[in-house]
Amino acid sequence: MKNLLYGLLASLIVVISPVQAEVRKDSLLLNEDYPESYVVVKGDTLWDISARFLKSPWKWPEVWGVNPQVDNPHLIYPGDIIYLTWVDGQPRLGVKRDSGIYPRARVTPLDTAIPAIPLRDINSFLNNNRVLSEDLMQKAPYVLGGRDERIIAGAGDRVYARGQLLEEQPGQGIYRSENQYVDPETGEFLGYELLKIADGNVSERHDDILTLDLAKSHQEVRVKDRVVPTEESRIQSMFYPKPSPDGVKAQILSVLGGVRDGGQYNVVAFNRGEREGIEAGHVFAIFRKGELTKDPITNELIQLPQERSGELMVFKVFEKVSYGLIMRSTNVVSVGDKLQQP
């Protein structure tokens, strides 16, 4: 009888243990093939590394363990070892620094810390793109022309504009309207998308006529381009991802860069902003609209259900419009795709 009981107990252990392990893994959203550790290399991002361990990479702030070697878990450097451990049944990511086998000083500049997301894909959009309200757009000074009756100008040239500056500062940007955003659901005008063409300095004023010397230019300045205060943003690399606000749904307005469809690491604009509580770091799930198909029996047109096609993280927010970087895509991301809390 005793041997029989031992046998039953052993069989229960064999059967139950894998199930318990699977429940534990699924409930914590770990990848099926997560590594025990990973060595950080140059070019990595926190999102990429977290994606090796987690099904939802944006949840990395929740799983960083308290590590005495790392004051800020977002400051991770090439050569560090990221490892997975368990604390009270919950997964934690820790960091090991390379201490070596002999005394030495390790001096690592802060700017070598790996970023949260690939900055190369958003760098130009941080400083060269902005969305301006209709009211401010109408108030912004506009270019009349250049010296010697030129209608186009570039770096080193002088141009003249008419109007009152939106902000009193010597440095001004010359912007061109690239797009006009209208809410596809309500019809509300959301703003003008502006692209920076050049940087200039106000050298003289005569009534409402401004004289600007162009310091540098990305394209040729033309008549009717607008003079708007330069919005220089320090490159933010320490984004803290979090799920988007409850109940906030959005729709993609454009794929920046002059294309209609996009994928991983493309930048998109969508119809929600500061007034809806959107902040840099918010993560949205992307849903692609289902296709129309014809019922082969009734000949009716049937709308297929929408399907999740990826995630994006917000990196720049305006009053009514925000920019997000597509971090993962399993299908083409297009204008009109829906966004909601992941």
DSSP letter for each residue of 277-331: T--TTEEEEEEEPPPEEE-TTT--EEEPPPEEEEEEEEEEE-SS-EEEEEEEESS
Give domain 124-229's CATH architecture. Answer: Beta Barrel (2.40)
Q: Which two tokens stand for residue 299?
A: 């000949």
> For 145-202, how does the pLDDT look when each residue is reduced to its tens digit (9 = 90+)?
988 878 888 888 999 999 999 998 878 999 999 999 999 999 999 999 999 999 999 9
- Residues in the chain, how many? 342
Secondary structure, 3-state, 43-65: CCCHHHHHHHHECCHHHHHHHEC
Give domain 242-340's CATH architecture. Answer: Beta Barrel (2.40)
Specify the residue for token string 């409930």.
Answer: 27
Band (20; pLDDT cuts 50, 70, 90)? very low
What mean pLDDT is predicted for residues 93-114? 60
End-to-end CA distance of the chain: 54
C-alpha 178/C-alpha 218 separation (Å) is 14
C-alpha 109/C-alpha 117 separation (Å) is 19
Task: State the average pLDDT for the chain.
Answer: 83
C-alpha 316/C-alpha 250 separation (Å) is 15
One fold for 124-229 and 242-340: yes
**Residue bearing the bigger pLDDT, 326 or 306:** 326
> For 108-155, how does the pLDDT look when each residue is reduced to its tens digit (9 = 90+)?
444 577 888 888 888 888 888 999 999 999 999 999 998 887 888 888
C-alpha 81/C-alpha 72 separation (Å) is 15
State residue 33's pLDDT score: 85
Bridge partners of 179, per DSSP, are 193
State residue 31's pLDDT score: 83
> For 236-277, how does the pLDDT look when each residue is reduced to its tens digit (9 = 90+)?
657 888 899 999 999 999 999 877 788 999 999 999 999 999
Specify the residue for token string 């941080």.
Answer: 126
Given a cut of 70, is residue 71 above it in pLDDT? Answer: no
C-alpha 287/C-alpha 12 separation (Å) is 43
C-alpha 25/C-alpha 19 separation (Å) is 10
Q: Which two tokens stand for residue 105?
A: 């000083």
Q: What share of the chain is helix, strand, coil (3-state, %, to 5)?
A: 20, 40, 40
CA dihedral 72, 341, 181, 202 (to 10 degrees): -10
Residue 336 near residue 280, CB atoms below 8 Å = no
Q: For 205, which DSSP code?
A: E
Q: For 135, which DSSP code?
A: H
Q: Where are the domains of the chain?
A: 24-114, 124-229, 242-340
